[in-house]
Chains A and B, each alone.
Chain A
């Protein structure tokens, strides 16, 4: 399924052939994929429900359900549910899906399993743009600064791509990852610089910079939904092209694909998705790394399925991470911190387990 990359000495793009069946998609294989969706959807629902149920006030499940079905603006319980819990869960769902798909696209278009928008600095770029907007251009609420976020994500994606995937770095995944990390560090540095010299923005964004699910009202999250949807649609439509792209530049062109066109379109999708998620929830890393990796372990190297599974896995992980963050100590551990603590060990495990060629 995953054929030889065009270059020697690259990271095995796809761990799946070692763990899962590398066999061509036979009937049983596809059936497996469909079947796998069922427990996954269930798990996702559980995660979202958990995030709805857990909070500083202990509200029994029955009451939550009642509050959902009978919204009453005067009743305190209903208020809590609708103004605190529901927006949170909605954010988890939307941002989770966005990040999961963005990560999958990123890995597909760079042919590198060790990337995600966080690692490659796209989130950093988006947040820098937001910070700049807030500090120097007096932007106010999310419907305004989300445009900054999109722009920042777009510019950064293009930069990373240009830097990391052309010339000497072509085909060298570690070089790409490093370029992205360096770029991300630079952009974060600029962000810090702006924040330190504009303390009013620092106060406003304190919770935001590690990724949080708490700060957005429902309509704010809804504002980015259309863009996330566009991103998802692009992703789905590109999945066949990405399968072909995975075979290498030369093979892809031989099969009649247009690699540059595919990449441009996908980069736009990544910008929309990562930019949207970052605008709403702050920069959250590692979700985009974990979700496709886990998905690939189950379904193999088929982009369409990986997209579907990632879209479910990411909000599940995010939901559980969010709950964990709230449960673990009295204060709230931002969800971005929890995902980092889950995702980084996975990354480390990946690089230890698989033989990575020297550069």
Chain B
């Protein structure tokens, strides 16, 4: 049989006739490049910084032969922070991809819709009203995010199905309510507490430890793997519910699964460090443009998210060496500008 024109280079993994996987050449190359960049950046971040440790000393510490101070800095402070940035960046990006697919809109992503606002509310309640510590704050953020997501989901599903448009608008409404509530809660606290709480709200990965990382690692990995299984059903949903149903997909089940996984990823990503805005919206779009694919492109998306968050964290620490910024400020600035550019471009299209 004559071969089909895929319009781009592909290669097959597995048996020739019945391959295990068909991958885009371009997609794979981009993904590989991204991961190389991530590793390079991670190494740079672990080896440099304000603690004045030479790369040689850092290397010694990594293989377990450094002195107490160096080991502490590299292994206890920097390493978990770097790994967390990679993990959370990937989670946020995938969650964004899932929601953008679900709502059929590049702007329909958890930070715009408001799930991250809910996490902030939960954290604020714990921090300011209940006086909890960091573990409790994480728990509060987790619960807040999940609760918000479920509320939005239930309010936007009518007769069992969630329609993208309704999800977005309901999300905006709920998020506005929660945002104003957050401001109110902040008002009831002292100025110092308010500033501290606001720092959390801007995304603050300092003070992250292995405990934090382990806390979210398991859940995030599970959800990330689950999202792989979602890849094909979600591609089908892109052509519209009637067609997807006619092609034998149980749309409602897929939607629920997508929402659960998306919520899980966002909540877990926001809980430890606060909401780093815009990774979830921007990363999937950047990845799609780089790879020029129609599919969810989960691999490149995750890599883009990880790279973005790591980059933002590095910038946030290094830009003013004396007073490190919360990472959320950097992500908002970069992400925000990217966003404006994206919207203007969309505006000029067609």
* Contact surface of A with B, Cβ cutoff 8 Å: 114, 118-119, 159, 162-164, 166-169, 174-175, 177-179, 181-183, 185-187, 189-190, 192-193, 195-197, 199, 202-203, 206-207, 209-210, 285-286, 331, 333-334, 336-337, 340-341, 343-345, 347-348, 351-352, 356-359
- CA of A167 to CA of B347, assembled, Å: 5
CB nearest neighbor in A for B174? A344
Q: A193-B202, A210-B184, A210-B187 are in contact. Are A177 and B349 (CB under 8 A)?
A: no
Contact B176 A178 (CB under 8 A): no
- Taking CB atoms, residues of chain A closer than 8 Å to B195 are 196, 199, 202
Q: A164-B347, A189-B329, A347-B172 are in contact. List 12 more A-B contacts (CB 8 A).
A: A159-B340, A167-B349, A177-B169, A179-B343, A182-B281, A182-B339, A192-B201, A192-B332, A206-B186, A340-B180, A344-B174, A351-B169
- Taking CB atoms, residues of chain A closer than 8 Å to B168 are 174, 177-178
- 14 example contacts (A-B, Cβ-Cβ < 8 A) are as follows A163-B340, A163-B347, A167-B350, A168-B347, A178-B168, A182-B107, A189-B278, A189-B328, A199-B195, A331-B188, A340-B181, A351-B173, A352-B170, A357-B165
Q: A203-B191, A336-B180 are in contact. Are A167 and B163 (CB under 8 A)?
A: no
Contact B332 A190 (CB under 8 A): yes
The 3 closest A-B pairs by CB, nearest first: A189-B332, A186-B336, A340-B180
Interface residues on B, range: 35 or more
Contact A169 B347 (CB under 8 A): yes
- Taking CB atoms, residues of chain B closer than 8 Å to A203 are 191
Q: A193-B202, A193-B333 are in contact. Are A337 and B348 (CB under 8 A)?
A: no
- CA of A343 to CA of B176, assembled, Å: 9
Q: A206-B194, A348-B174 are in contact. Are A169 and B346 (CB under 8 A)?
A: yes
- CA of A341 to CA of B181, assembled, Å: 9
Interface of chain B residues 59 through 78 with chain A (CB within 8 A): none
Q: A206-B187, A336-B180 are in contact. Are A185 and B111 (CB under 8 A)?
A: yes
Q: CB < 8 Å: which of A185, A340, A358 contacts B112? A: A185
- CA of A181 to CA of B281, assembled, Å: 13
- CA of A3 to CA of B343, assembled, Å: 30
Contact A190 B336 (CB under 8 A): yes
- Taking CB atoms, residues of chain A closer than 8 Å to B111 are 185
